Structure 1
């Protein structure tokens, strides 16, 4: 973990893989989708580059090897995401906020620290997460940035830049917590002040090598709260 030099006024969370450790469920749904679209599974490198943190539009176009027309794209998205949501409900032990997340969210809420989510999830999934995980307890839902088709997805900087604007801060005054290469690139390109990489300890050297990553943690139980400005 890095030395603490500055403090930041707000925090922006990625969602899948960060607040929700649901990667095995997405992998299962994406592999089934890949087999249907191209007849072969997705490799580990492909997941890192073309799946984790990327929008459905990018992933499905990549798997199809062509640009998809809007109606076809929407239909494919709903098939994949319906499968994913079904897996969430069938695996309730995995469909919970990640270790330490609730305690950290309670803390930043109690201190009135500006906060939001910037996620590649689309609206149907976001509504599903809000309903089943009670996100409205900690977040102003109108400030959450998601894949609504109006912004370029990660690794473009737009999602994190908009998230900072939504909590009335400059990107440089914000912390971002991410787990995906495309997310690190997005946050770095948006000039986020401090990027925290979250992942198993064996991935920490790789995470620290990603652009802009300053701190690495295994879970929110290790999140350095001293990075945040606490107003008294």
Structure 2
């Protein structure tokens, strides 16, 4: 029985893929004089923590101070675009109702995100996530935890709400996230697709139990 729901945030709870692409595109052009490609976005940005992304583009390791500096620059661009595009910066259709259903059925809820803590606070403030989630229990990119496709961030999110992996459903939108959910051996793996973006090309060996483009009626899947 699934009694714990773990959500990646970007591209899963909000369809901000176009915002992310605009933010990364602007950042890479200004900071590294590089153009963003679709392949690089899928393999080296989507679902990946900032350290891994920056080190890929720089071709070297970076210090904690450099990570903070670069992250702040990129995330400031991202947050500015979010606030300037309120029609895009909102919860995916049906998600609020699904979260209400989870709460009424005593299902544990948590978020596991590659985002920096400053962004997590921003999301909680702007989208009123405190209605359903405890900010202190969110698993986020703290610079210490291994990034996806390692399962660590999902395992931490589950542990933080006293859940069990075998009883948990993980909602993801990226290749690295689905890989991490598979490696964690989650009870259910749900792929969330943004209809405005290109379909994610997943390796055939990865398990997906459900594919959704919104959360309307998804509770029925967990009642079967």
How high is the TM-score relative to the length of structure 2?
0.92
Is the CA contact 1:154–1:183 (under 8 Å) kept in the aligned structure 2?
Answer: yes
Match of 2:111 in 1: 117
Match of 1:217 in 2: 212
Structure 1 segment 13-92 matched on structure 2, within 5 A = 13-92=7-86
Match of 1:182 in 2: 176
Structure 1 segment 119-134 matched on structure 2, within 5 A = 119-134=113-128
Q: Is residue 142 of structure 2 the alignment partner of residue 158 of structure 1?
A: no
Gaps of 5+ in 2: none
Cα shift at 1:51: 0.5
After superposition, what is the alpha-carbon deviation per residue over 1:124-183, rounded to whole angstroms, capped at 9, x for unaligned? 000000111011100122221111122101111101111111121221110001000010
Q: Distance in 2 between matches of 1:177 and 1:228?
A: 17
**Secondary structure of 2:176's match?**
helix
Q: Distance in 2 between matches of 1:112 and 1:186?
A: 26
Cα shift at 1:95: 1.3
Match of 1:3 in 2: none
Is the CA contact 2:175–2:200 (under 8 Å) kept in the aligned structure 1?
Answer: no
**Secondary structure of 2:154's match?**
helix
Aligned counterpart in structure 1 of residue 98 of structure 2, from 90, 94, 104: 104
The root-mean-square deviation of aligned C-alpha atoms, in Å, is: 2.0
Change (3 A) 1:208 1:85: same
Match of 2:222 in 1: 227
Is the CA contact 1:37–1:63 (under 8 Å) kept in the aligned structure 2?
Answer: no
How high is the TM-score relative to the length of structure 1?
0.89
Consecutive aligned runs of 4 or more in structure 1 exceeding 6 Å deviation: 201-205
Count, aligned residues = 223
